[in-house]
Every structure is written in C-alpha cells, then in structure tokens.
Amino acid sequence: MLPVFLLHGWQDTGDTFQFMVDAFQRDWPLAALDWRGFGRSEWPQDGYWFPDYLADLDALLDQLSPGVPAPLVGHSMGGNIASLYAGIRPERVRCVVNMEGIGLPRTSPQQAPGRQRKWLDELKVTPALKEYDSFEQLAAIVRARYPKVSSACAAFVAAAWGKLEANGRVRLLGDARHRRVNPVLYKREDAEACWREIRAPVLLMLGEESEHLPNLGADGSMTAFRSIMPGIEFARVAGAGHMLHIERPDLVAPLVETFLSAHS
C-alpha cells in the first residue's frame, strides 16, 4: 500500500503530525518529509524559491508513489504546495486534505519596489539563528503561543523544533534565511489558475479561530473557494486556530481519516 504524504508548514517539521497520527484509528502507511531548509533537511547554498518545493514533492512522489496518484495531507505552506501541485500535476494526486493552506492576500505591483529594496538590504546581513536557554524555555513559548496545547504536547513540539548545541543552548532547527522577505510578490491569480486545474477531491480544513482566514477578506469565503474548485469540501475545527493539527488532533484525525477512506 502506497503512503499518505504529510506536508508540514513554514518553520514546522514533519514530526508535529505525530499528534494527528496518534489519534488515527487505522494504521495508515505514512511519509512525512522535512522541506528543504526546515527541520533536519539540508540547507541549499543558493537560497530558497517557492517552486523548488513543488519540484521536491514531484521528486518524492517519483520515488515513493511512481506512476500512482498519491494522497496528500498538507498544513499551511504544505497545504498550499499540495493544492498547487494537484493543479499542476493533476494525474499524480488522488486526493488533497488542505489544512489552512489558503494562500496569501492579493498583492499589487506598487508593492514591488519596496519589497525588493528590503530584500537587497537583508542580503547584506546574515540572519541570526534563534536560540533559547533550554528546551523547557522553548516549550513555555510554544504554550504561550498555543495555550490550548498540553505541557507534554509543548515539550514534544519544542524537541521537534529545536537542537541542543555544544554550548548547552537550544537553537531552532531550520535555516534563518527563510526569514528574509521574498522579493517576488505573491500572485493569488496565479495560485487560483493552478487550483482551477485540480481534478482530485479536496477537503479544506479551517480552524474556527483561524488567524489567517480573516486576512483574505472575500477571497476567504466558501463562495470564493467554490467558484475556483466547485467540488471542494469544507470542515471547520472547533477550538483551533492555524495550528489545528497540534491544537485539536482529536477532531482533525477523524475528519482526515474519513476523507482518505472515501478516496482510497
């Protein structure tokens, strides 16, 4: 049986899908990667461009799901990658569970000069790697940011996100260059053009307390998404914000399993 591919979000790692996986009723075959420059993956010297993640997913499916459409489950950046890929390579995707991978707000050409000036300025400085006194300190920050998670959950996330250095401090995993501004403006129109090519079933999962959905305005409505992907299904997760797979895995897991079972 071919795996379900778990695609994590920005500055996250594949490890944090563990809470959802622990809540599954079935023993699904799974493959959870760390995107380039995140978690325990290598850091390319030439930097990061979003299309590279599409190429990485393409290569991964060639290795682990050759010639067979794959089920994709993605959170945030991973959900965006999954949905774009499903439109670009529709024959390679069986179904998509997209958790809060809703794209970014629209941009305008007037933003380009300032964005590129800022990028040029940031290239002159090596971004600092975030460090903490201990895993306990990092776990406390996780709990402060996501107060609904338990102490044990926060400790797991801290261990997934951090690395103990020789000096006894804990450094966040991942390349700090990800924090540089992207000089290329996000074009929602381009993303929507890719979404219109999707043929696979799509489940869009949103936290009822999502921090990002309100930023989209009318583009974040069910009507807007249905106008682009007519067959899309929606699920709202109570008591969860953007990190719904960490905050409410008890509610997320059965929704994901039901959808995967219906399209396996």
Write out the chain's pLDDT in tens, 264 residues: 789 999 999 999 999 999 999 999 999 999 999 999 999 999 998 889 999 999 999 999 999 999 999 999 999 999 999 999 999 999 999 999 999 999 999 999 999 999 999 999 999 998 888 899 999 999 999 999 999 899 999 999 999 999 999 999 999 999 999 999 999 999 999 999 999 999 999 999 999 999 999 999 999 999 999 999 999 999 999 999 999 999 999 999 999 999 999 998
**Alpha-carbon radius of gyration of the chain:** 18
**Do 101 and 86 lie in a common domain?**
yes
**Do 179 and 222 lie in a common domain?**
no
pLDDT at 111: 97
- pTM here is 0.96
Burial (CB < 10 A; 0-12, 13-18, 19+), residue 214, is exposed
* Residue 249 to residue 93: CA distance in whole angstroms: 24
pLDDT at 129: 80
| Domain ranges, residue 250 | 1-105+186-264
pLDDT at 115: 97
**Do 18 and 94 lie in a common domain?**
yes
pLDDT at 1: 76
**Do 203 and 93 lie in a common domain?**
yes
Q: What is the dihedral of CA 121, 129, 79, 8, to 10 degrees?
A: 160
**Do 123 and 219 lie in a common domain?**
no
| Cβ density class 232-261: b for 16+ within 10 Å, e for less | beebbbeebbbbbbbbbbebbbebbbebbe
Note the Cα 115 to chain centre separation in Å: 23
Q: In the listed set 168, 184, 200, which residue is the last one of a domain according to the structure? A: 184
Q: What is the dihedral of CA 181, 133, 245, 82, to 10 degrees?
A: 30
**Do 8 and 85 lie in a common domain?**
yes
Tell me 58's DSSP state: H
**Do 204 and 86 lie in a common domain?**
yes
**Do 69 and 24 lie in a common domain?**
yes
Q: In the listed set 184, 201, 225, which residue is the last one of a domain according to the structure? A: 184
| Cβ density class 132-153: b for 16+ within 10 Å, e for less | beebeebbbbbbeebeebeeeb
How many domains, the chain?
A: 2
**Do 224 and 209 lie in a common domain?**
yes
